[in-house]
Every structure is written in C-alpha cells, then in structure tokens.
Structure 1
Amino acid sequence: MGKPKPRNRTKDRSISTGKPAKGPSDPRILSALQDLQCADLKKKLFAASLIADLIKDPVTRKQLLREHIVKILIEQTLCDSNLETRTAGWKLLRDFAQEEEADFCVHLYRQDVIAAVEDVVKSIFLIVGSREAPFSSSPKAQQELIWNLIGSIVGLLSILSAAQDEILEAITEVPVLVNFPFGLLALESIPVELEFETLLCLSALTEDNKPLAEHILDNSFLLEGLKQIKDSGEAKAVPACSVLHNFFTAMQWYDHNTPMEGHSDAMILPALIQAMEVPQNNDTKGLSSSSSPDQVLQLAVEVIASIATCLQEALEHGIGHEKEFEGFGDDSIDIKQEMEHGVGSKDRKGKNMGSKDEDEDDEMDEDEESMNSEEIDADMDLVTGDGADDDDSPAEEVTLDRLVRKATPKLLNLFQSDGPIRSYALSALNNIAWTVSSIDFSTGHLNSLQKLWSSLSSRIWNEIITPVLSSNTADIDLASSVTSLAWALARSAQGVVEIQPGEHRKFMALYRASKTLNGPEQSGSTKGSEEPGDAFQGLGVKAIGVLGRLALSPAPIELNRDIGIFLLTVLADPNTSAADTVEAMNQIFDIYADKSNAFDEPVFWANGFYKHLEEILPKARKMAKGIDKRKFGELRARTDEAILNLARFLKYKRTERNGSN
C-alpha cells in the first residue's frame, strides 16, 4: 500500500490541448494575438503581458489554444529577432505547460519543441559563457532579461520531463540539455531563486533516469557539487537531496552495496530531517518566487516517503534474490517461488506466473484428492509462509534506523499540525510502516529498533488511527490512507495491537462504506479500470487486511470470532468484488492455519467455519471464471490462486482434524 513515486508519467497519451470552449473568443484574445504578431515592439510586449493574465483563467486559456496560440508562439514569437519578445514567448509557453495537463506537453513534444529548446539553450550558453564580453559586465537590465529567459526554459524542461517517459528520454539524448542545469549551478552569479528552480529541474530530469545517473557518475565533480549543496543548510539542500535520491535509486546504491562508502539514501536523510525541524517562518533564504517554506517542507517529506518506498527494493537487492513480499496491496499469503503440485510461482506483485487455463479449472478437485497427509502438511507450510527461510542477509540498517528513529517522530508531529502537510506526513508514515512490516526481526540484531518501533507504532495508532476512526470522517481519501497505515502497523506488530473496545467494527463500517463508492480504487471493482491492479489498492481490501491482522493470535477469542464471522460474510456475499474475495480468503488462511491457536476449536470448528468455506468454494470458482483473463490477467491469476489455496486449506484442515481425533 505504499505510495508510489511522486511523479506519475504516462506512456502513451493522445494529442489533446483541451476541449475548445464554445462560442466566440473573447475580443481581448483576438486583439492580443493580432498585436503579438505585429511589427511594433511595444504592442508585442503589451500583448504578451495581457496573454499571460488570460492564461490564468481556464476559459480564456482554452480560447487561446483554439486560436492556435501555440503555433504562433513556436513559428513567430520564439524566433523573433528581439530578445525581449523571445523571452516573453518562452514565458508564455512555460505558463501554458504549467496550467495544462500532461497532454499539452505531449502536443509540444510532437511540435518539436525540444529542438527549439536546444537552440535557445545554445544561444544562452554563448551569452553567459562569453569571455570576450563577460556576462557579469552586461547592463543590469540585460542580465535580468537573460535570467528571466533561463527561468522559463528551466521551468519548461521540468514540466516536459515529468509529463512522459518518451519526452524525458528525448531530452536526455540531447547533451546540451543535460549539461544545461549543471552549467547553471556552476555559475557564481546565478540568482538564489533560479538556483532552487534549477535543482527542481534536475530532480525532474533524474527521476527514473539511469542514463543521466551514469552521466553524473562519469563526471564525479557533478556528484560532489550536489553533495556540497546538500550540506549547505539552506532551502536548496532539499531539492539537492531529491536529485541525490534519484541518483542512488537509479544506480541501485544501497547501504551495503555502494562502490562509494556512505553514498546511499542514508546520506541525505539528516538534511531532510533538518528541513523538517526548521520553524516555518518568514525566512525565504534560498527560495524561489514560486516557492515557500511550506513547499520546501512538503518536498522534504515527499522525498522521505520515496526513500521509505525504495527501501524495500534495497532489502531485496541486498539478499541477491527477490524475496517474497507481502504488502502494498498484495495478498497476504507468503507463497514461495516454486510450489509443488501445480501451483504456479508468484512474482513480487503476487501475479501467478503459471496460472491454469479456464478449461483446467474443474481439475483442481482431482489434483487435491491425490495429495496424501504429508504432502498436505508440507503444502500448507508453503501457503502460510511457515516453511524454512534461508534469508540471513544484512538489513538496510542505517537508512532504516534513520527513518524510524529520526524521521518518524518528526512526521508524527507534522501530522498534528494544520494544513496540507498533514496528508504528506501521513503518506510518509504509511510508507515507513509498510517497510518496517517487511523486516525480519527474528535475527535479533535489530532488537533495539524493534522495541522503538513498537513504542512508535502504539503512538501512531493512538494519535492518528483512533482519532480518525472516532471522528467518523466523511473524507474517503483520509479514511483510505489511515486504513492503509493501520494495516501496516498491525502487520509490523505481528498481530499484537492494542485497540479500543469495539474499534475493529470501525473497519467493518469502512468496508461497508467502500461498497457504495464509485471508482475501482476504492470499491475494488475492475469495471471501467484500465489498471485492474488498482483493485487491490481499494479501501475494502485495506479494511479486510487490517481486520485479518487484528484477529491473529493472541487475539481474544471474542474478537477473533467477530472478525472471522465478518470475513465469512464477505465471502458469502455474491456482490463481493474479486479483490475483496482474494484478500478475505488470504486473511482466513493466515488466521486459522495453526490448530494450536486458542480460537481454532471454539471459533473455527464450533462456529462451522469449515462448512461455510466448503459452500463458498464452488461459488468462488464460478466467480473466477467470470473474470476475463485477457482484460484482467493479474486479477484472474490471483483469484485462481486464492481459490486453489482455499481447496488446499480445506483439505489440510480436514486432515488435521481427522489426525487429532
């Protein structure tokens, strides 16, 4: 349930510059466009100033697009002989890109805007890098004009880089554009606000960009320069940390696996934590005109959230092979890479790599009947994750330690504050909690950290989970985020969570609320969803996940019974979505796999859970066959796998029961 990367690029988007507004365009627009193309410099600049104001209004902005403002800018304004006009044109193009959706950037890209950017950057280098006529000796007005032009280009590059992978790749392939932001940072005369914006541009350029990361590595002075900015103690240190985080991620440099000692995310966490400690006052040192202390704080929290998300990948990288990982929306059964008796292996996202065809569904019963008692016991170990674990590799101790000991208390305090930062702090806490929930503390070398996390998780539950649940909030996004955090906390506490009396029913209520919501990410439905994997990110799945963890041993028998009956009710409901069904089954497997648990006899057997599950099995198989595997391949595979595991679970419980009698 972790938070994805801060940027969400699209792979293939159609050309769209916005649906044209109906009716005639504002007379001011027609007049401004006419003046923008005239020979009079004053009229051109006044028209550009008027258009800059019109861009801010969605209606007039759409009218400008309908009147082919982009074509006018690219073909006339950007190549005007006057520098002031060109500067005004680039600012307008940047403003349009900033206000419009990513489709607009795709449109610009297809109009070959990158070639135009390359040309203007070359001209800028000739001016600021001239030895014959030093830029610092130019008139102040001339310098200000150039800095304004540079600011527009830097901003446009940032927006284009974030819009689409293809655009980012195209920019990276142009050497002058890659060197442009680094060259700006090397200028002693660069204005403070432009330095900040340039670092933000580099952050956009370096995200998910290994070629650029390798370029930084090949030119070590670039890395050293970023580290110096990171250590500056000023606002610009935060975007520099973002660039370094992108670099470490792309190069897969982790605490235990870096060719340069100390060069990992652990290096940048102190600066980010310091940024969260600085009082948010009127001190704007090192900030751009479009930034604020609150925005710097937000960026620091976002980078910490991303570090926490990437830490799981670092853990997997450290052991030399992909370890099965429960969480981030995946089903909670830990099934090893290769399961015997026809069960396909799973990748990290839980997708069944070897699922059967539809015409083989009816053969599951025959396969199960061929299993003897010893095979069943062995298979159940695989289903529940109780088999041998050969992972004895080191944990990401430094990064993990700083996330837990230093960052978590600060984030918890930020959540208690007012403003938008609360949601960002909640997201970062969620990511940290999910990462901690995947750590194997059984080796004992992290006992101190585990003890601290136990204390912190209790505080997080008492200060965030309980108050939000008690408020009966109507904010579904908040409820979904808090439920995800609660799930991670319950996982990391390994089923031992102190909750208020009746608090588990709040999650049941959230599950029922999720059934009335529209949208696949909340309801768990796949209807209308282009990415069926989002179904496992729904509020319903999260609520079921929390309840399943709360019901684990040593949960009180009454609590276990209440939750167990609820999960059976979910499975018996014909309207339950496939994703909710999968998660409910997985939780039942985890809860009732071990007959030594105190609630096995008084709950599972005494309340007829076995019989109910037997009745659910054929209905679930029928439901699975109704999922189109061509459209929803992952959902179908995971549903098939859960149903097969249900058959195995029932066989195991029956054999276990008979063997004990």
Structure 2
Amino acid sequence: MAKAKKVSRNSRVRRAPVVNPNRRSGLGGLSKEAARDEKVLPLIAKLASAEPKERAMAASAIATLIEEPTMRQLLLKEKLVHTIMDQSLSDSSEEVVMEAFGILRNLAIEEGYDICVFLWRRDVLTAMAAWLEKVKGRLDNFSALGADQKSLTFDLAEHLISLAENLGTCSDDIMDSVLDRLPGLVEFALKLLSTLFVPASTKAVAAEALYALSEANGAVLGQIQAAQFATDDDQRPLVKVYLSGVEYNMYEAKVASIDLLDVVRPVVAVVKSIDVGASLAQLRAAADAPEAAPSADTAAARDAVSAVMVALELLTSVAESVVAGAAKTAPPPAEDDMDDDEAEPVPDMDVDEDPAVADLSESPVAELLVADVIPAVNTLVGHADLRSRALNCLNNLAWTLNTVCATAPQWLAYAEALWTSCAGLLKDAADVEIQTACVGIMWAAAKSFGGAVPVELDDVRWLTTLLHNAAGDDTLELRVRIVGLLGVLGMRQGRLEITKEVSVLLFTLAALVPKTEPAVAIEALNALFDVFGDQAYDYDAELFVRGGMLKRLTDVQPQIKQMAKKIDKRKNLELRTKADEVAINLQRFIAYKRDEQKTKPRK
C-alpha cells in the first residue's frame, strides 16, 4: 500500500511557509569570509556591549539571521550557543534574555536534534524554569505592568513555550526532563489559551505546543484532560486546528470519549473558510519587500496558511487512523523452510482484502471524507506552495477509501477524477515529492477500479521510463509505487499487450536482484503474484505458461532467498520481514502454479 509513511507530527509546520525564490541570501552578496568578518563577528561582539539596547538589538538581529542556513552555520562556528548560554541568559536586561531565548528557540527549530541535546546537556531547563515562573507571576499581576513589560512578557512566554516544545519532542528522555523540570508547562499553556488579554500569536504558540507535546504522550494528555480541556469556537483558525489536533491525540490514545467526526468537521470548516490564494499572495508580497515593517495583514495571512498546512497534516494522520481501525490483525507468516524446493500448494493466491462497504451511510467517517474532506483538500492542489502537502493528504485519503469503501459510487466518482488529474499532473511534474504522491493516488484509484482505468501502452512505457530514470535514495518510494501501480494495471484482462509489458518489467526487476533494491524487488514479486494469481485470466496461458515464467521464477528463487538473508533485521526489521515473506510466498507461488498447470483451466 502506498500510504505516506507515518512520521511524527512533531516535525512541525513552519510558521512562514512561503519563501520568495528571488530573495537574496543572508550573505547579501558577500563571501563567507566577508560575511563572517562584517556581520557575524560584530554582532557577537555586541552581545557583550556595555549598552543593554545594543546587546538586545544584536541578539534580535542574530535571531533573524539564524533562519538563513549559511549565516546560521557561520554563527555556530563562532560559538554562538556558548555565548548565549554563558552570557546572554543571565544578562541584566530582560530584553536581552528574551531575545536570547528566541535565538535558542530558532536554533532548536532549524537544527533539531543535535542542538536540542546540547542545550539539554548544558542544563538550559534550569534557566527556563526560573523565567517561566517569572512570566507566570507577571500574568497573575498583569494589570500592574506597563505596556513595554506586557509585550516583553508575552514574547518571553512564546519563546519559552516554543523552546520547551522543540526540546520535548526531540527525544523521549528530554521529554521526560521537560515535564519533570517544567511541571506547570501544560497548565500554563492551557491558561494562556483561556485568558482573554493574551495575544493571538501567544495563543497560537501555546496551542501548537499542546498539539505537539500531547502526541502519543499519556502524561501530557492526562494533564490536559484533568484541566477539563475543551475547544473554543471563538479561537482563530490556527488555534482551532491545533486544538482539534489535541482532540485527535486524545482520540488516538483513547484517553477520552471523542468522536472522530467531531475532530474532522471543524478542521475541514477552517480550510473552507480561508481564502488561500489571497493569503499566499499577501505572504509573497511581504517576501518581496523584506525591509518593510511587518503588518497585521501579513501576520493574519501567515496564520491562515499555517492553519491550512497543519490541517493537511492532521487530515493525513486521520486517514491513517480510519484504516488502522478497519484493518484486521493478520497472523504472522508460518515458519517455512526456505531451503526446500517444494512447498505445500496454496489453494488460492487471491489477496484476502478487508471487506469494504458499498453504501457510505454505513461508515459516517468515510462519508465525511468523500463528501467534504477530499473536495476541500483537492482545491489546495492548485496552489504550488501547498501542492505537495495536499497531494500527500489525498494519497492517504485515497488509500483509506480504497480500503473501507472501494466500491462505493461516491468514492469511485472521485477516484476517477483523481486518476485523470494526477495523470496529467504527473506528466508535468519534475519534483520527486509531487511525482511520488501522484503515483500513489493513481495506484489507489486504479486498485479501486480493479485496474479498469483509461490507460494506453504508451502510458505504461512512460511510467517504465520514469522508473528507470529515477535514481537515488529520495526516489525509492517513487519507484516502489510505480511498480505497484503497473502491477494493478497489468491485472486487467482484455489488455494483453499492456499485461505483457508489465509482466516483463516485473520479472526483470526480480531477476536483477541484487542490483534491484529489495523494496522494489519485493513490490515487483507481490505484483507478479497478483497478475498471475489465476490460470483462468485470459492472458495467463499466453504469458505465464507459454512464456516459461514458471521455470524463470524457479531460477530466480535462490537470489530472492539470498536478498532476504542479507537484510540486517537489527537495522531494518520491517524490510527484512517483508523480504522473508516474499521469499516464502515465491516458494508457495511456484508450487501453486506448478500444481495449477497439472489441472484443467477454471471455467
């Protein structure tokens, strides 16, 4: 199945999704050496200035430069993190401290695991805990604060919460430390969300942290549930989506009685309510004028697009949950002796699919996915900045619906439309992610129709060329999906030339092991099992029997066994398991086809 691999949603959406490709890099035309001497070193030196304002301005400038990869590396080479930890976090100016936490937050976002582990080992949590208590105290006495101190307090809150989120989602050990050393973090984030005078930007950061920290985390979910968490219809779109994400995390962890429909409906409503085109245009205009002061319109547009991106991420995960709930738990494969040439004949090689509903009224969630979710997501494919995310979401939705309601007329109507649109998009796409998603959607659509989709021999050859031209680790999933798609197309009877083209490719991929990567070879063999699963197929006698496929597969069998044995199960247990299964199934398939040829063809 070509569903997107499950990735932790803690690899979160960036808050500024649109980048102007014409915008100059942070080097501003300077060489690295010149940028170091003219920008980096002066800024780091100013962190030790006698003037608090100069220190704060330098820290603010550094926080911005960190977003540019080259400048970030130059700053890190000059021991920026050590300077911030040893000097800026204990600065007498609270503004400098606030900017220092902002620098660490940005570094954690951009650099990820390595920086987070380093900060944790340097005991950044001690400073964070102290300042979090100060922020809490100020919010309790908020009316007594001046305007500047109020703004500073909210900035500190955002940086501390976001840094804690990035640290916690980095590893389980650090998550445990964050929850232990910052025991009031979850309660504080919830309080920010329920307090009227808290700015929208701060609420968005708090909601994002709750969403990320609560993923598969019973301790955090327990704290949220104990606080009688409930979504607020008055919240802005981005916060609404994050809080729906928290509800989804509760649903997945089964810590509360939550209807998945109640999670999905508000997310779809948010997507429908946003003028995505106008928001993207606003962000591009802002990117084209980097020197202009940030505007409220730009902030609103950024939040709107971020809301859509998080919604796509969430809906992609929801699709997985629907299938996981419907899937049966298959027993492990029998322990076969893979060195035996004979195996007990398998009476039927047909895939035992989970039963799918034909009437969507029997599955309210599937009905919602077809009626509301797919149309809403499909409209986003037209926006280049969101296309990859939208297609990945559609890919998971397509496979979900192929599993739970493959024959439902409403789904088949969309499956046909998705086949047509993705086939056209695939021909024009150069981006591997776009190609991979398109092929996955086409595979699911074709499978729902049993391969009976409009396709010509030239289309099969074009896909074969795409397969052969794809190279590198980043194209492996694309190649696996192309093989799977071609296997479904090859199963359709009445198209002898297409089936012949496909079967030759599938066998060639298997025969070229070990040159063919195991994942591709496994998919090719599984496709062959399906294509030639019954001698009654109108092409079986011509292609399998007279083509001598049985002997050729028998000759390939030792290579497949060796391929499986060479995969280190300690490094890739999933792939090794699949390889062992396909080696066993090849042995069974050969025995099955050998026995089948001894009998009369089925009527």
Q: 2: CA distance between counterparts of 1:390 and 1:56? A: 47
* 2:576 pairs with 1:618: no
Aligned position for 1:419: 384
Cα pair 1:549 1:587 within 8 Å, conserved:
yes
* Residue of structure 1 aligned with 2:114, choices 96, 100, 103: 103
CA offset at residue 395 of structure 1? 10
Aligned position for 1:439: 404
The within-5 A match list for 1:119-158 is 119-130=130-141, 135-158=142-165
Aligned position for 2:213: 205
CA offset at residue 632 of structure 1? 4.7
User: Secondary structure of 2:409's match?
Assistant: helix
Percent identity, aligned pairs only, is 26
* Residue of structure 2 aligned with 1:608, choices 516, 533, 548: 548
The within-5 A match list for 1:175-254 is 175-220=183-228, 222=229, 224=230, 227-229=231-233, 232=235, 234-251=237-254
CA offset at residue 406 of structure 1? 0.7
* Residue of structure 1 aligned with 2:176, choices 154, 159, 169: 169
The within-5 A match list for 1:36-55 is 36-55=47-66
Cα pair 1:490 1:496 within 8 Å, conserved:
yes
Size of the aligned set, in residue pairs, is 561
User: Secondary structure of 2:451's match?
Assistant: coil
* Residue of structure 1 aligned with 2:536, choices 588, 593, 596: 596
Aligned position for 1:552: 491
Cα pair 1:547 1:563 within 8 Å, conserved:
yes
TM-aligned CA distance change 1:54 to 1:600, over 3 Å: closer
User: Secondary structure of 2:516's match?
Assistant: coil
Aligned position for 1:458: 416
Cα pair 1:567 1:584 within 8 Å, conserved:
yes
* Residue of structure 2 aligned with 1:398, choices 350, 361, 364: 364
Aligned position for 2:268: 273
Q: 1: CA distance between counterparts of 2:373 and 2:516? A: 39
Cα pair 1:522 1:540 within 8 Å, conserved:
yes
Q: Give, as a single letter, the amino acid of the residue that structure 2 aligns with 1:2.
A: K
Q: Which range is displaced more, 194-203 or 79-88?
A: 79-88
User: Secondary structure of 1:595's match?
Assistant: coil
Q: 2: CA distance between counterparts of 1:451 and 1:250? A: 33
Q: What value does the CA root-mean-square deviation take over the aligned residues?
A: 3.3
TM-aligned CA distance change 1:56 to 1:433, over 3 Å: closer
CA offset at residue 421 of structure 1? 0.9
TM-aligned CA distance change 1:628 to 1:213, over 3 Å: closer
Q: Give, as a single letter, the amino acid of the residue that structure 1 aligns with 2:269.
A: Q
Aligned position for 2:424: 467
TM-aligned CA distance change 1:300 to 1:396, over 3 Å: farther
* 2:477 pairs with 1:518: no
User: Secondary structure of 2:76's match?
Assistant: helix
Q: Which range is displaced more, 115-124 or 274-283?
A: 274-283
Q: Give, as a single letter, the amino acid of the residue that structure 2 aligns with 1:498.
A: P
TM-aligned CA distance change 1:287 to 1:404, over 3 Å: farther
Deviations 1:217-259 (A, max 9, x none): 2332x2x2xx224x6574432222222222222337xxxxxx6
Q: 2: CA distance between counterparts of 1:145 and 1:96? A: 20
Q: Give, as a single letter, the amino acid of the residue that structure 2 aligns with 1:468.
A: L
* Residue of structure 2 aligned with 1:88, choices 99, 109, 113: 99
TM-aligned CA distance change 1:265 to 1:598, over 3 Å: same
Cα pair 1:118 1:177 within 8 Å, conserved:
no
Q: TM-score, normalised by structure 2?
A: 0.84
Aligned position for 1:572: 511
Deviations 1:628-652 (A, max 9, x none): 5555554344323322222221221
Q: Give, as a single letter, the amino acid of the residue that structure 2 aligns with 1:467.
A: G
Structure 1: tracts of 5 or more residues without a match? 11-20, 253-258, 317-321, 325-336, 344-359, 442-446, 524-537
User: Secondary structure of 1:175's match?
Assistant: coil
User: Secondary structure of 2:232's match?
Assistant: helix
Cα pair 2:457 2:498 within 8 Å, conserved:
no
Aligned position for 1:310: 321
Q: 2: CA distance between counterparts of 1:113 and 1:37? A: 20
CA offset at residue 290 of structure 1? 8.9
The within-5 A match list for 1:55-66 is 55-66=66-77
Aligned position for 1:356: none
TM-aligned CA distance change 1:564 to 1:40, over 3 Å: closer
TM-aligned CA distance change 1:569 to 1:602, over 3 Å: same
Deviations 1:554-597 (A, max 9, x none): 45333222222222222233532222222111111112122222
CA offset at residue 102 of structure 1? 3.0
User: Secondary structure of 1:438's match?
Assistant: helix
TM-aligned CA distance change 1:182 to 1:458, over 3 Å: same
Structure 2: tracts of 5 or more residues without a match? 13-31, 283-294
TM-aligned CA distance change 1:195 to 1:612, over 3 Å: same
Q: Give, as a single letter, the amino acid of the residue that structure 2 aligns with 1:140.
A: A
User: Secondary structure of 1:7's match?
Assistant: coil
CA offset at residue 73 of structure 1? 2.4
